[in-house]
Amino acid sequence: MRPWWLCAAICIGWQAHAVEIRGLVDLRVGSSDADLSWTRDGLDKTRYDRNSDGIRLGQAFLRVDGEVLNDVSASVVVSASDDRRRLVDVTEAWLGWNPVPSSAWKTRLKLGAFFPVSSLEIDYDSIGWTPTRTISSSAINSWIGEELRTQGVELTMTRKGVTEVSAHDYGFTLALFGRNDPIGSLLAWRGWSISDRITGLTESIRLADLPVYRPGGGLPQQNRSIRIAREIDNRPGFYVGAHYSYKGWLSVSALHYDNRGDPLIVKNGQYSWNTRFNHLSARILPDDKWQLLFQALHGETIMGPNAVRLRYAAWYALLSHPLGAGNLAVRVDRFSAKEHRADILPSDPNGESGRALAIAYSWPLSPSLSLITEALHVKNDRIARILIFDPPTKTEKSVTASVRWQF
């Protein structure tokens, strides 16, 4: 059964008396030397491979925002891409309460299915959850877009310094959620990626054909298809965060996430994973041109009686600056995963290490049309590739052009 808040946001938003409809269409063409993308059951790191030539529908988003009451709104985001088994899916649907502040504190409450406020590459109020300076996302935000979705309630309180003639803004976020029990599956059996693909709430993601979940393997109850939005153990998860900014040029935030999954429960071919991580981000704007973004994440995920126990980490730094008629962005990524010594299935290696470099240039052709080009280089070591007769070390290179139309 789909969560009731998803249906409620759709129905209430549809009947709202003030409705705004926005959209984004992202068409792209490029060349890649990757052998077999993870989107086609492989273990390569990029979204596209050497068989992905031609014009592609990278993303298409339709966002509907409706005013329900004076301080209550409803939002629904539907997306499409041509590398899904089902072309169209809902990616977010929520109700929001944003009362007019009566003090220095501003309150925002969200109820439904949405992304946590964790990414610096993506504008919070964007049409779709997609990066604005590059085509691909960092490893951190690729994973968030693929496997993480808050389905519950999130409260954010922010104290605005301007109301007290202060240069300091600060606040906190607290969320309770369910239905994200499979999170960790992709990190373990596919690993990190450098992508911009957003998983739909009802979508099934197919894993590579590894021996561990074949008949006779170490985990025969595990299905090759993962659905990120399943509730398996009936235990709520939570995350708590804090944020601070100074004079608009420095912003820092931290987040602790724990889905509190029971790793011993398996239902309908899918285990519950106990996944937790700590996340740190910083944005520095020394002037009106330079931008420096930094995010780091590290955590641990456990499935079964230590059938998988994996520690993972990633960070990136992105520097951007106007150049000519557009904007130049350079992003450096590092990512890794290491099996805990308590892991009991040595025949199922999940460790890896890798790095990536993205160089992108974006041109605003008009207020609604933009062109982005990106060169991407990814090098990765993952021993599990030998189980599907691939070399463990691979280097992938791609050049992509994206035309984005917003309406």
Phi, psi of 280 (to 5 degrees): -135, 140
Residue ranges per structural domain of the chain: 32-54+119-406
Q: Is the pLDDT of residue 395 over 70?
A: yes
pLDDT at 128: 86
CA distances from 134 to 47, 84, 144, 336, 358 (A): 14, 22, 16, 22, 8
CA R_g for the chain: 21
- Is the per-residue pLDDT at 165 higher than 90? no
Calculate mean pLDDT across residues 187-214.
95
Contact yes or no for 128/63 (Cβ under 8 A): yes
Between the alpha carbon of residue 124 and those of residues 11, 59, 121, 196, 388, the distances in Å are 23, 17, 9, 16, 39
Which CATH architecture does the domain made up of 32-54+119-406 adopt? Beta Barrel (2.40)
Could you tell me where the beta strands, DSSP code E, fall in 285-385?
291-303, 308-323, 326-339, 352-366, 369-382
Q: What is the pLDDT of residues 312-342, one digit of tens each?
A: 999 999 999 999 999 999 999 999 999 998 8
Distance CA 119, CA 294 (A): 10
Mean per-residue pLDDT for 157-173? 89
What is the bridge-based pairing of β-strands 273-284 and 250-258? antiparallel
Q: State mean pLDDT over 362-389.
A: 97
- Averaged pLDDT of the chain: 93
Q: Which string of DSSP letters, residue by residue, matches 116-160?
A: -S--SSS-TT-SSS--SS-SSPPHHHHHHHHH--EEEEEEEEEE-
Contact 198, 59 (CB under 8 A): yes
pLDDT-based confidence at residue 357 (cuts at 50, 70, 90): very high
At residue 1 the predicted structure's pLDDT band, cuts being 50, 70 and 90, is: very low
Going by C-alpha positions, the residue among 1, 5, 2 that lies closest to residue 152 is: 5
Tokens of 362: 């974006």
pLDDT in tens, 79-100: 999 998 888 999 999 999 999 8
Determine the Cα–Cα distance for residues 96 and 21; give it in Å rounded to an integer.
Answer: 17
Cα diameter, the chain: 67
* Tens digits of residue pLDDT in 250-307: 999 999 999 999 999 999 999 999 999 999 999 999 988 999 999 999 999 999 999 9
198 — pLDDT class (breaks 50, 70, 90): very high
Q: Which residues pair with 302 in a beta bridge?
A: 274, 309
Q: pLDDT by residue (tens digit) across 44-80?
A: 999 999 999 889 999 999 999 998 888 999 999 999 9
Looking at the predicted structure, is the pLDDT value of residue 107 above 50? Answer: yes
